[in-house]
């Protein structure tokens, strides 16, 4: 039904099979650092229209692949599509960040959250997935994604971004029953959402637990990892999604790599605070590793970017199972030339390594 | 010269000696969550005047001790006093955060940084230390502190707070020589500063490496920990400061606890992402541990605060060497009643433990 995959480095690396060179993609590779993205976004009028118009989402998804020999495409979308579809009314304004017009304020708000029908409520996402997959013509695999239940909960309860998560964390302690109800409803929707993305053509799936690292070692397993475990279990037991690799990424989760790897996910995302060599020693026999260059290094000169990319390739060593990436999304102010240097170096340095 | 110390729980715990119950103090215990602090600050006019007027700094330092049976006082000051004294012209405005009128913009700015004379340039700090020490009348020990060299560098180079540290991290990669020059000048000043605080009456010292956790596992040892090592070495080899315990706290440094403990410091601060039991297993034979309750738990009810404090006391277990604290400063919006519950519980739960 879809064109045959030509570049399967990403999928091979996630399965920890040998590759000719280390695959590389970049979180937020379709984004504001690219002038062509800014032009398309201007045309769309606003960010949400871009997400909700499959042709435009497809266009910006493909833009970085026209510039750089990246080894994967990632669906252009937002982590907050599910709460938006549940009626919280998302708006995304540059400089302000995401806001919900109707955040969850009490137990009844949580109880009243609707069950989503992926075929209608989030059809724009699955349509975009299928369109992108076809447009890619098998050049590289397409990654689908979601925010983690806990990460979505923080925005749904706080009404937007937060530094301290006073409301969301307050709920974990004062009303854990409501927190669990919300997390379960969100998890159920996420499972349907990822299955729908798989059915629509996503060849790998990733869960962004952007705010898991704000939890404590005591609350993280209960309120974040436990729900990601449910997601992994559900995907791995469904015929449509069971062979599609799943990457879990808890930013700031370096202390908990063993328990993340123990979920049965295929790959674990690393931020830059973890040494990739020590992560490999800790969990490299169970999962592939994705990461982990500090995105701020892209502010340095192209030469320094290459040096650092080479260092990370070397630090991972001549093992299978490395997907090169940044440890967090690329910043809007980065010069695209630095990305060129990065991608080129990852490929050449890892190819040399096997000589 | 100073009155005899009556409550020595803090110093005993840092030396990993037995205590009757776990000592507790709270980062930012003198701060905006206290109405009496807000009143004094209003009287002072602005935050810097509060810091620079020893009588006022003394007053706010003592305020939390009048309310709660805390086991230590900590000098009321700011981590940016050194760069301010070096001529960068600090301003601190609520809601905006710290700003330097004259941030460091190039190599010459760094070369031109003056060598500080503690007896004049930062006399207001040492005067405050001596005044507070006398006013405490030996009730509890007084902690002096500084920001870490890397943490000061981020503010000095960025000109204020930063989320991404584009300029400071860019310098580490593009011009490491200038970065090292700046870090060395800052380290030299910090060493003099802490020695002066010790001489003036500080009975324990703490280094706040608030932004060390933004570095990578590769850059942290070179640009942050290495300079904190110099500080520890200098303090431990000076007759005035050699017996004064030093606590190093890198927020987000959970991956690097072993190397922090290996500096020869006396105690290591922990944020809440680390399990205190696992930290004790990792480094508890070398250092005392300070921490590690998530400050957002204070948004929950007093009952939940007590439960969580008890859990942490229990998790540390019946070992010596625990200084109870939050994993980061207390937030301005917290109800002081919660702090009462916290302090009371730490004492009672740890006292019960020894029955």
pLDDT tens across A269-310, in order? 999 999 999 999 999 999 999 999 999 999 999 999 999 999
- Would B312 be classed as within a structural domain? yes
Checking if the pLDDT of B96 tops 90, the result is no
pLDDT of residue B95: 77
- CA nearest A296 in B: which residue? B166
B4 found inside a domain: no
Residue B13 maps to a domain = yes
Residue with tokens 């405005």: B93
State the pLDDT at residue A252: 96
Across residues B266-285, what is the average pLDDT? 97
What average pLDDT does the segment B284-302 reach? 96
Q: What pLDDT score was predicted for residue B146?
A: 98
Other Cβ atoms closer than 10 A to A300: 21
Chain A / chain B CB contacts < 8 angstroms: 103
Rounded to a whole number of angstroms, the distance from the CA of B267 to the nearest CA of chain A is 20
Q: What CATH number does residue A33 fall under?
A: 3.20.20.210
- pTM here is 0.94
Give the pLDDT score at A144. 98
Domain contains B2: no
pLDDT exceeds cutoff 90 at B187: yes
In whole angstroms, what is the distance from residue B26 CA to residue B305 CA?
14
Q: Is residue A1 part of a domain?
A: no
* Chain B contact set for A219 (CB, 8 A): 294
Look over chain A and give the mean of its residue pLDDT values, rounded to a whole number.
96
Backbone angles phi, psi at A33, to 5 degrees: -70, -15
Domain count, chain B: 1
- Res. B353: pLDDT tops 60: no
Residues 6+ apart with CB under 8 A from A45: none
Please answer yes or no on whether B170 and A308 come within 8 Å at the CB atom. Answer: no
Q: Which domain holds residue A208?
A: 9-353
User: Do B213 and A296 make contact, defined as CB atoms within 8 angstroms?
Assistant: no
Q: Provide, for chain B, the percentages of residues in helix, strand and coil under a 3-state DSSP scheme, each rounded to the nearest 5.
A: 50, 10, 35
Neighboring chain A residues of B342 at a CB cutoff of 8 Å: none
Q: Please report the beta strands in chain A, taking only residues with DSSP state E, as ranges in sequence order.
A: 73-74, 90-93, 97-100, 142-147, 204-209, 246-250, 267-269, 288-293, 322-326
Give the distance from residue B300's alpha carbon to the nearest chain A alpha carbon, in angstroms: 5
Question: Average pLDDT for residues A314-321, to the nearest whole number?
Answer: 96
**Catalytic residue status for B108:** no
**pLDDT over 90 percentage in chain A:** 96
Flag if B297 and A169 touch (Cβ within 8 Å). Answer: yes
List, for residues B47-95, the tens digit of each pLDDT value. Answer: 999 999 999 999 999 999 999 999 999 999 999 999 999 999 999 987 7
Q: Establish if A257 touches chain B: CB-CB under 8 angstroms.
A: no
What's the mean per-residue pLDDT of chain B? 96
For residue range A84-106, what is the model confidence (pLDDT) as tens digits?
A: 999 999 999 877 889 999 999 99
In-domain check, residue B182? yes
Helices A176-200 and A166-174, axial angle in degrees (round to 10): 120
Q: Residue B137 in contact with residue B201, Cβ under 8 Å?
A: no
Q: Is residue B163 part of a domain?
A: yes
- pLDDT at site B354: 55
Report pLDDT digits (tens) over B38-49.
999 999 998 999
How many percent of chain B have pLDDT more than 70? 99
B299 catalytic residue (yes or no): no
Average pLDDT value for residue range B5-29: 98
Q: What is the mean pLDDT of residues B193-215?
A: 98
pLDDT grade, residue B274 (50/70/90)? very high
CB neighbour list of residue B337: distance below 8 Å, 6 or more residues apart: B302
Question: Within a domain: residue B48?
Answer: yes
Chain B interface disruption, residue of A273, A306, A341, most B CBs within 10 A:
A273
**Which residues on chain A are in Cβ contact (under 8 Å) with B165?**
296
Ranking A55-59, B164-168, B183-187 by mean pLDDT, the lowest is B164-168
Q: Is B164 on the interface with A (CB under 8 A)?
A: yes
Q: What per-residue confidence (pLDDT) applies to B233?
A: 98
Q: What is the pLDDT of residue A133?
A: 98
Which pLDDT score, from 0 to 100, does residue A355 have?
52
Predicted local confidence at residue A120, as pLDDT? 97
pLDDT tens track for A220-254: 999 999 999 999 999 999 999 999 999 999 999 99
Neighbours of B193 (CB within 10 A): 25
């Amino acid at each position: 039904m879809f064109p045959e995959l030509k570049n399967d480095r990403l999928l091979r690396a996630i399965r920890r099979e040998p590759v000719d060179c280390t695959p590389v993609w970049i979180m937020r590779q379709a984004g504001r650092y690219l002038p062509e993205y800014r032009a398309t976004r201007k045309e769309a009028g606003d960010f949400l229209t871009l997400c909700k118009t499959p042709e435009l989402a497809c266009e910006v998804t493909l833009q970085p692949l026209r510039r750089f020999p990246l080894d994967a495409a990632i669906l252009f979308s937002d982590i907050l599509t599910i709460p938006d579809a549940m009626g919280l009314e998302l708006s995304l304004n540059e400089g302000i960040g995401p806001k919900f017009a109707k955040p969850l304020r009490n137990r009844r708000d949580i109880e009243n959250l609707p069950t989503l029908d992926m075929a209608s409520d989030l059809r724009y996402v699955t349509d975009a997935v299928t369109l992108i997959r076809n447009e890619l013509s098998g050049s590289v695999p397409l990654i689908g994604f979601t925010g983690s239940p806990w990460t979505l909960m923080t925005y749904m309860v706080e009404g937007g971004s937060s530094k301290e998560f006073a409301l969301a964390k307050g709920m974990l302690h004062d009303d854990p029953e409501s927190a669990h109800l919300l997390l379960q409803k969100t998890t159920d929707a996420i499972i349907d959402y990822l299955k729908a993305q798989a059915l629509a053509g996503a060849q790998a799936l990733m869960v962004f637990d952007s705010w898991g690292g704000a939890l404590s070692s005591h609350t993280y397993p209960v309120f974040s990892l436990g729900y990601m475990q449910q997601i992994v279990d559900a995907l791995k037991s469904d015929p449509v999604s069971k062979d599609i690799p799943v990457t879990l990424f808890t930013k700031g989760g370096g202390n908990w790599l063993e328990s993340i790897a123990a979920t049965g996910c295929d790959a674990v995302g690393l931020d830059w605070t973890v040494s990739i060599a020590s992560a490999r020693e800790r969990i490299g026999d169970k999962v592939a590793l994705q990461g982990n260059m500090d995105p701020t290094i892209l502010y340095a000169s192209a030469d320094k970017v290459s040096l650092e990319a080479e260092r990370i390739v070397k630090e991972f060593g001549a093992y299978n199972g490395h997907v090169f990436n940044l440890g967090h999304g690329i910043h809007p102010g980065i010069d695209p030339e630095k990305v060129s240097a990065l991608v080129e170096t990852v490929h050449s340095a890892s190819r040399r390594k096997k000589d």
